Amino acid sequence: MHHDHDHRRGDDNRRRMAVALAVNLLLLVAGLGGAVAFGSLALLADAGHVLSDVAAIALGLFAAAMAARPTDARRTFGFHRTEILAALVNGLLLVAIAVLVFVEAASRLSDPPDVEGAGVLALGLLGLAGNIAVTLILARGDRSDLNLEGVLRHSAADALGSLGVVASAAIILATDWLYADPIAGIMIALLVLAGSWRLVRDPLNVLMEAAPRGIDVDEVGRAMVAVPGVREVHDLHVWTVTSGFPALAAHVRTEPSEDVDEVRRRVERVLAQRFDIDHTTLQTMVEPLLKVEDRRRKR
């Protein structure tokens, strides 16, 4: 059942990402054409971000397809971490786009070029409508999937970027203040940079096998020790294989009077019910009777 749920989740997320890819391809063509025709850096910055979206979604779809491949003798966890690598690449791509746009916008502040405000406004509104639609489609997917979350953050930042394009075009039309265009470009770059933070941090945490967000390893250890029949827990490790796939490994020492397999099942139930950890590797060991008797004598 858990596998079927993950499969359905993956299929739904891939469909949403495919729709997002189609919309972004249309916005990319319109944005690049408008940037050239109307001389707008804000439109060019937004188109650059849309280009990163197209690459991000294509990479995300490829990663999702790879993650669905079965395991083999060498890759016992399959290709699940392809999604994590894709999310990391997307985050780094966002950083690169932001830096390039910021540098170009800063250089234009000294001598802002003429901008066709009406055309920029029309394309900005088109981009805003498209990005809002895509963001809403993606937001209804399974947000625990870092791959989908990466594409969603690209799209949300694009919507904010389009809003900046609309604002700059409106200012130019109302006041003929050409500095609005490069300033909007700088603001878009900063928004993109801020949105890339989680996309770089979270995949790195997964690759470094840090404990999943929201799981306190000490609390997990205390819950395991509190299970009837458990005397001691050590060598406890909790990590994430990929989005929504936490794993745990530990050595569990049991009471000599207890059935080892039954104690293991109790621990597994606690881990699944309290922490949503279903993939566990528990090495159970019986507390030697001699050690128990020695402790009783010392008391």
What is the CATH classification number for the domain harbouring 177?
A: 1.20.1510.10
**For position 290, what pLDDT does the model report?**
43
Question: Do 231 and 197 have their domain in common?
Answer: no
Residues 221, 239, 145: CA angle, nearest 5 degrees: 125
3-state secondary structure of 231: strand
Give the separation between CA 197 and CA 202, rounded to whole angstroms.
9
> pLDDT per residue over 207-252, tens digit each?
888 888 889 999 999 999 999 999 999 999 999 887 778 999 999 9
In a domain, 212, yes or no: no
- In this prediction, the residues of the chain whose per-residue pLDDT falls under 70 are 1-10, 67, 76, 144, 146-147, 287-299
**For position 6, what pLDDT does the model report?**
54
Burial (CB count <10 Å: 0-12, 13-18, 19+), residue 139:
middle
Question: Which stretch of DSSP H or E encloses residue 151?
Answer: helix 146-175
Q: End-to-end distance of the chain based on CA atoms, in angstroms?
A: 49
The residue from 140, 173, 207 where one domain ends is: 207
Chain centre to alpha carbon of residue 20: 16
**For position 115, what pLDDT does the model report?**
76
Give the separation between CA 265 and CA 259, rounded to whole angstroms.
10
Question: Do 135 and 267 have their domain in common?
Answer: no
For the record, the structure tokens of 292 come out as 């128990």
Question: Do 69 and 155 have their domain in common?
Answer: yes
Residue 227: give the domain boundaries: 217-298
Question: Do 51 and 122 have their domain in common?
Answer: yes
Q: Domains in the chain: how many in total? A: 2
The residue from 160, 186, 207 where one domain ends is: 207
List the CATH number of the domain containing 255: 3.30.70.1350
**For position 288, what pLDDT does the model report?**
64
Question: Do 43 and 164 have their domain in common?
Answer: yes
The residue from 207, 229, 253 where one domain ends is: 207
Contact in structure between 166 and 124 (CB atoms under 8 Å): yes
In a domain, 198, yes or no: yes
Length of the chain: 299
